[in-house]
Structure 1
Amino acid sequence: MQLVRGLHNLRPRHRGCVATIGNFDGVHCGHQAILARLRERGAELGLPTCVVLFEPQPREYFTPGEAPPRLARLRDKVELLRAEGVDQVVCLAFNQRFRQLSAEAFVDTVLVQGLGVKHLEVGDDFRFGCDRLGDFAFLTDAGARLGFTVEAAHTVESAGTRVSSTQVRAALAQGDFALAERLLGRPFSITGRVLHGQKLARQLGWPTANVQLKRRRVAFTGVYLVSAEIDGQARPGVANIGVRPTVAGDGRPHLEIHLLDYTGDLYGRRITVVFHHKLRDEQRFASLEALKAAIGADVAAAQAYWQAHWQGQPALTKSLK
């Protein structure tokens, strides 16, 4: 798969494709259905598939304080799209210049001159161009004139509700990881590099891996049962994600994971943390001793949970012995 950053990096070899446009945050089951149809159209026409993304996402540009937390960073999103068999991802900078493009200019600059699109899959509520004046009807008319077809990307429902990134975030906020997994088609996870932290947890007797979130906002906070793949083996653990209210910090969310039976050095490594079950909300404790006791209780609860729920999972039960 090819990743193209910006219109200026498009080359003749990128022209001629079937495409879709959107945020694709989380690449959930609804997105996967769109991509499956796109692959079918690509196979019919003998053309590669292309996903057009924006960075930042439009809502993050217009109302950064109100934009919802992302389910996946760009790097992870690209990897998820790669796994779905997408041939190329074009990531366009959403900035002042881009937002001023009229609907006509967007079609000509991006779809026709830039990508040479022959078929386009978008939601029937898709809006684009300056002041969001472009819509599905506009695209259909433009396609008829300029030589590409347009098809509405039908929604996917789960229990009578449209699958969406908003629904996934709501499931995560409620601690319903089973629902989140159904909506995503896979367990929810966060991938990041393990960095050096304050090492306070180590001083309290419970060493943790501090997984980098950068400036990422998170859809949920609390203490969770998690697993992480280390050297090809799933390792059970317990994690805290939040602002660590007992410890004076920078006010940004942090992800810290204590692996139940692992003592190796993880610094500098990228690990994927999979969330399985919520233990409790994040809370402020009156003292470090109280925090230490709470972490001990969390670890004991994690050990009991893994022993009770994962007896049939060889990779996990092996690491518990």
Structure 2
Amino acid sequence: MQIHQDWHWLDAAGRGTSCALGNFDGVHLGHQAVIDLARGPAPLGIVTFEPHPRQFFQRDAGPFRLMNAEARANRLAKLGVEHLFQLPFNAGLAALTPEEFARKVLAEGLGISHVVIGEDFCFGKGRAGRAEDMKRLGEKYGFTTTIAPLLKQGGIGISSTAIRDALSEGRPGDAAAMLGHLHRIEGAVIHGEKRGRELGFPTANMDLTGLHLPRFGVYAVRVDVLSGPQEGSYMGAASLGVRPMFNGVAPNLETYLLDFKGDLYGRHLSVALVEFLRPELKFDGLPALITQMNEDCDQARAVLAAG
């Protein structure tokens, strides 16, 4: 998959695509339905934004994203996307009227042949453009438009908000049913305080800045090591939270890979939340914590072995 970071000066190889347009946070089943409608004889593309427009307009809002740009790109590549147009969302782009966005960005800048948008999609300054406006503007500027209906599950629309709610309540299985895949946290392994190593459970620490925080606690996880000599898939147990035993403040993800030996610092991991095992707890002492960690690993192994 080729990633384009701007809509100016696009080379000829990236033009003429059939694109799905949206934020695609989570790349859930609704997003996948939109993407499927863009498949055809033309190369498949995605037009999205970085940062998320909500981050630009609501700078003081709490973290809400289901995935960072790296995780989104990895997921889109798995869906067969050939061109990812990851447009920088800034004051200039936000100021474009719906017609200017359609003409300058989609038609002239990216040279798309077709665009697919959800029926509730809004675009342009003040979110003034609606789906039918895109259809009209496409006819004017030389691209066709498909409007995708909202996908529902059990009579309820699939949305990033519903997925966030499921994760906040410790229901990763319900989130996965709407996503069409396990919810994953991806990023580089960073240096922590190395307490896990001292306790006999060396963990891979990952930063959660900017991401929606699932329920704090311990999870059975599946881990993909995406780079380095240990590249591959592993079972694991992960603690997500602030580490109350050690008076932590900033939340992070600490993952212990079962049956693994090696150094993962700087490597990129993809950690999939499979099942919530227990809430975050504060123990009376280290022996009680170590006993619980052994039980967590045994339970995680049993859950993951059962499929």
TM-score between both structures, scaled by the size of structure 1: 0.85
Contact 2:242 2:250 in 1 (8 A): yes
Separation in 1, partners of 2:140, 2:133: 11
Contact map agreement 1:217 1:253 (CA 8 A) in 2? no
Q: CA deviation at 1:274?
A: 1.9
Distance change (3 Å), C-alpha of 1:260 and 1:138: closer
CA distance in 2, matches of 1:160, 1:227: 30
Distance 2:203 2:243 in 1: 13
Percent identity over the alignment is 37
Q: Is the 8 A contact 2:63 2:209 kept in 1?
A: no
Q: 2:137 aligns with which of 124, 136, 142?
A: 142
Q: Aligned to 1:271, what secondary structure does the other structure show?
A: strand
Q: State the distance in 1 between where 2:295 and 2:65 align.
A: 31
Q: What pairs up with 1:106-255 in 2 under 5 angstroms?
A: 106-213=101-208, 216-229=211-224, 231=230, 234-249=233-248, 251-255=249-253
CA contact (8 A) 1:60 1:67 kept: no
Gaps of 5+ in 1: 314-321
- Shift in Å at residue 63 of structure 1? 0.9
Cα RMSD after superposing both structures = 2.3
How many residues are paired up? 303
Q: What is the CA distance between 1:164 and its match in structure 2?
A: 1.5
Q: Distance in 1 between matches of 2:143 and 2:135?
A: 9
Select between 194-203 and 258-267 the one with higher mean Cα deviation: 258-267
Q: Deviations over 1:143-201 (max 9, x none)?
A: 22222222211222212211111122122122222222221222222222222211122
Residue 295 and residue 59 in structure 1: after superposition, are their counterparts in 2 closer, same or farther (change >3 A)? farther
Deviations 1:44-95 (A, max 9, x none): xxx2222111111111111133365211111111111111111211111111
How many angstroms apart in 1 are the aligned matches of 2:245 and 2:120? 45
Deviation at residue 244 of structure 1 after TM alignment: 2.2
Change in 2 beyond 3 A, CA 1:65/1:296: farther
TM-score, normalised with respect to structure 2: 0.89
The answer to whether residue 31 in structure 2 is matched with residue 31 in structure 1 is: yes
**C-alpha distance 294-4 of structure 1, shift in aligned 2 (>3 A):** same
Listed as ranges, the gaps of 5+ residues in structure 2 are none
Structure 2 CA distance for partners of 1:299 and 1:192, relative to 1, 3 Å: farther
> Cα gap change, 1:260/1:147 in structure 2, threshold over 3 Å: closer, same or farther?
closer
Instruction: Give the 3 Å change call, closer, same or farther, for CA 87–311 of structure 1 in structure 2.
Output: closer
Structure with larger Rg: 1
Q: Aligned partners of 1:243 and 1:305: how far apart in 2?
A: 20
Letter in 1 for 2:141: L
